[in-house]
Amino acid sequence: MDSGNEDALDIIITNVVATFRTRCHLNLRTIALEGVNVIYKPEVGKVLMKLRKPKITASIWSSGKIICTGATSEDESKVGARRLARTLQKLGFRVRFSDYKVVNVLAVCSMPFAIRLIDFTKKNRPIASYEPELHPAATYRIKQIKATVQVFSTGSITVTGPNVQNVATAVEQVYPLLFECQKPLRK
């Protein structure tokens, strides 16, 4: 039953965050003045550069560390990162593309049923926690695969994890628990 329903559930990846290093010092002012889509934040000490084609935003620090966010798949993220490094190369810095690592993946998934959050929290203590004063969703943290699942009462869930495989595993793990606490539809 579960695997059958898994096929029907689409897990949509909405954000992939990756970091890499250029192994050289970058002059933020140069980048800010010669780049097209850049925002310079001198107080924080970084430059935000936005690319159009893989739609990503990159935070560039002067140490050469770059964080790349907004991609919708791991491959896209890599392409974007490399494109960004190429841009920096063209600006005149001796850029080397190293230590590329996907740090975080955010995915959303929608269950075909509503969920009773209080029941869900009670059954899964202490892994699950629910504070309606702070956030409308119940948070379920899976330690082994280091993934966090946020469960909303409408049945949509958001999953964050270090890579796409973990995210898929997390959904598989959490699905039966959610199925138990579902709320049967009336209308």
Interface residues with other proteins (CB under 8 A) are 23, 32-37, 40, 42-43, 51, 53, 75-76, 78-79, 82-83, 85-87, 89-91, 95-98, 100, 114, 116-118, 121-122, 125-126, 129-134, 136-137, 152-156, 183, 185-187
Q: Toward other proteins, which CB reaches closer, 87 or 163?
A: 87
Rounded CA gap, 124 and 176, in Å? 12
Q: How far is the CB of 96 from other proteins (least distance, A)?
A: 4
Rounded CA gap, 144 and 178, in Å? 19
Q: Toward other proteins, which CB reaches closer, 3 or 182?
A: 182
The one-character DSSP state at 36 is: S
Q: CB-side exposure of 168: number of CA atoms within 13 Å?
A: 7
Reduced to 3 states (helix: H, G, I; strand: E, B; else coil), residue 107 is strand
Q: How far is the CB of 99 from other proteins (least distance, A)?
A: 9
How is residue 74 written in tokens? 């791991």
Q: How far is the CB of 180 from other proteins (least distance, A)?
A: 16
DSSP structure string for 64-86: SEEEEEEESSHHHHHHHHHHHHH
Q: Toward other proteins, which CB reaches closer, 87 or 158?
A: 87
How is residue 156 written in tokens? 């949509």
How is residue 153 written in tokens? 């009462």
Look at the block and give the residue holding tokens 């080397």. 96
Q: Toward other proteins, which CB reaches closer, 3 or 8?
A: 8
Q: Toward other proteins, which CB reaches closer, 5 or 34?
A: 34
Q: How far is the CB of 131 from other proteins (least distance, A)?
A: 6
Q: How far is the CB of 173 from other proteins (least distance, A)?
A: 19
Q: How far is the CB of 79 from other proteins (least distance, A)?
A: 5
Contact 33, 42 (CB under 8 A): no
Q: Toward other proteins, which CB reaches closer, 113 or 172?
A: 113
Contact 117, 129 (CB under 8 A): no
